[in-house]
Amino acid sequence: MSIRDGAGKSSIAALLARTIQQHRDDRVLAIDADPGLGALPRRLGVAGQTSSLQSIIAARPRSWAEASPHLAHTETGVWVLGAQELTHDAYRSGAGLLSRYFSVAIIDCSTGIGSPLHQSILSSAHAQVFVVPGTQDGAVSAQAALHHLQENGHNPVVALVAHTPDARDLLNTDAIIVPFDRHLETGTTITPDRVGAATHTAIARIAAESFGRAQREGTL
């Protein structure tokens, strides 16, 4: 999640899904819940129109064989659902139908944190990643949102994404810095081999910290 467009949350979501898939033998799902941008499938290399949670709800699959035709599948093994306008009730219904087939799901939220859909996703998530652009303005605007999240019982991992080579940690010392990466800045399909080693390390830290917090806080 993020409160700023262009912060890099779809890139972080895509890299998290791929990183987690590398370390698991079971299925990992990436859901695009941002109908305004819908960048997650493209970042994961899924071409053309993809199915959405709405199609899953309509189909009401009773088995993996019935569910899998509604999902795109990347070369790296991540399953993908595209973006469409959602209500919080539709999200809960669709995510509930799919939860029996996946052990991990990464949700790419739309910008913001205050809508009923945001609240539905946040309340059901085992962990949250708050993506902040590595600029002075981005860091300042994120402070109030982070305080609001913490007041409402959420303890997100903060990912500070550098958009220039000289960006610094402007938010707090607990943020995980995702360094400037020329490949990610292109906004095209992410090719893992072209992503810098420091970026892969930062994403691995975000994944590990997310699972660690979920375990420590008893949400897993």
Residue 39 is assigned to a structural domain of this protein: yes
Q: Distance between CA 61 and CA 158 in Å, rounded?
A: 36
Q: In residues, how long is the chain?
A: 220
The pLDDT assigned to 168 comes to: 54
Q: Is 162 among the domain residues?
A: yes
Confirm whether 4 is domain-assigned.
Answer: no
pLDDT of res. 173: 59
SS3 content of the chain, % helix, strand, coil (to 5): 45, 15, 45
Query: With a cut of 50, which residues of the chain have pLDDT below it?
Result: 169
For the stretch 201-204, contacts whose Cβ atoms lie closer than 8 Å and that sit 24 or more positions apart, written own/partner, are: 202/159, 202/176, 202/177, 202/178, 203/12, 203/15, 203/16, 203/19, 203/178, 204/19
Rounded Cα distance between 217 and 22, Å, is 25
Q: Can you give the pLDDT at residue 84?
A: 77
Quote the domain boundaries for residue 211.
Answer: 9-216
Distance of CA 203 to the CA centre of its chain: 11
CATH number at residue 108: 3.40.50.300
> Does the residue 3 lie in any domain?
no
d(CA 126, CA 43): 24
In a domain, 114, yes or no: yes
Per the domain annotation, does 93 fall within a domain?
Answer: yes
Q: What is the pLDDT of residue 207?
A: 97
The structural domain count of the chain equals 1
Confirm whether 50 is domain-assigned: yes
Rounded to a whole number, what is the largest CA-CA distance in the chain? Answer: 51
